[in-house]
Amino acid sequence: MLIAPVFALMLATTGPLPVPSAEQELGFGISAAQKGLWSEARFRFERAVALAPQNAKALNDLAVAFEHQGEFEKARDAYDKALKLKPGNAYILQNYDLFREADDKRTRKSRKAKETKKP
């Protein structure tokens, strides 16, 4: 069969594919998020964090993706890590404040629902 040798030749001549940088992954993630593709955005932000664990912007963006997917504990953890790296960053603080407001509202609503169900 001729396909296997041709494929092997292609691999030999092209070499390994380049690994995207954290910044490239962030760009892909932001583009996906803007289209509402939160699973793809999360994947890209997770890759960016894996490539650059000290990147506060990547952690912030990952927190936003977690939040959009309803993973609020993971969102809180990612925001906390981002704020430890960049405590005065206005953008991260703004996102975290909005998250906390929404999280407080969810908590109150959940608590109220539980109290209503009690006999």
Q: Is residue 12 part of a domain?
A: no
* 8 within domain boundaries: no
Range of the domain at 108: 20-117
Residue type, 73: E
Asked if residue 63 has pLDDT above 80, the reply is yes
* Tens of pLDDT, residues 75-119: 999 999 999 999 999 999 999 999 999 988 988 887 777 777 766
Is 64 part of any domain?
A: yes
Residue ranges with strand state E in the chain:
none
Which amino acid does the sequence have at 103?
D
Closest CA to 41 of 18, 56, 63: 63
* CATH code for the domain of 39: 1.25.40.10
Give a yes or no: residue 45 inside a domain.
yes
Predicted local distance difference test score (pLDDT) of residue 2 = 43
* Residue whose C-alpha is closest to residue 51's, from 75, 26, 73, 88: 26
Domain annotation covers residue 24:
yes
Question: Quick check: is 27 in a domain?
Answer: yes
What per-residue confidence (pLDDT) applies to 119? Answer: 61
Q: Does some domain include residue 96?
A: yes
Residue-wise pLDDT tens digits, 11-20: 555 567 677 8
Percentage above 70 pLDDT, the chain: 83
Residue 47: which pLDDT band, with cuts at 50, 70 and 90? very high
Query: Domains in the chain: how many in total?
Result: 1
The reply to whether 4 falls in a domain is no
